[in-house]
Every structure is written in C-alpha cells, then in structure tokens.
Amino acid sequence: MRSLLHVLTALAVIGLAFWAYRENYRTQAALAEAQRLQASIAEARQRLRILNAEWAYLNRPERLMDLVDLNYDRLGLVPLQPRQFGRIDQVAYPAPAARGLGNPVDVAHREEQLP
C-alpha cells in the first residue's frame, strides 16, 4: 500500500511540475505581449505629439494670413467682423410639420361578434 502511495505522490509531483512549467511559459508570453503593447502605445503617443506639433505649425495665424492673401482672388476670404454675426431671435426656424392621422378607426364603439 505504501508503494502505491509513493507512486501516486511521485506522479502528482511530476504533474504539478509540468503544470508549473507550462504556467511559467504562459506568464512569460503574457509579459512579452504586455511589453509589446506598451511599446506600441508609446509609439502611437509619439506620433500623436508629432502630428499635434505639425498641426500647430500649419495653423499659425501669420501663415494662414499669407495663404489668404495669396488666394484672395480665387477664394474671396475676408476676416470675420462682429457685424457678420446675428442674434438668436433673428434666426427664422421652419414651422414644425403637422402630423395628421390617416384613416382613423374608432374602436371605442365597435362591437365584434365572437364565433
């Protein structure tokens, strides 16, 4: 009986060692994937910073004014003036469309014959 217990214990230890070995490699793979994702996030953030810097550079007011001056004949762009804006009460909103019921049926006074 003791030899059976020793064999079962040895098999349990081998099984647990195999399980621990596989879990170790799964953990290492998960850590490598997490590091790869962190690197990808860092690259995306760097690209975003570069794009924001380029956007700020392209939207400089003096550059935009030069482009307006160069393309005035084609586009007719002029600076905004306060007199170009209106008040909210000057906006003419369309009247809401009337929704009528088509072919109404009076069911309150209708009696049906049951078979």
Cα 64 off chain centre by: 31
pLDDT at position 58, please?
Answer: 96
SS3 (DSSP) at 86: coil
The DSSP call for residue 114 is: -
CA distance 8 to 4: 6
Does residue 41 or residue 94 have the better pLDDT?
A: 41
On the question of pLDDT at 93 being above 90, the answer is no
On the question of pLDDT at 80 being above 90, the answer is no
Lowest-confidence region among 17-21, 42-46, 83-87: 83-87
On the question of pLDDT at 50 being above 60, the answer is yes
pLDDT at position 112, please?
Answer: 60
Does residue 56 or residue 65 have the better pLDDT?
A: 56
Residues 6+ apart with CB under 8 A from 75: 68
How wide is the angle at C-alpha 67 spanned by C-alphas 54 and 52, nearest 5°?
Answer: 10
SS3 (DSSP) at 105: coil
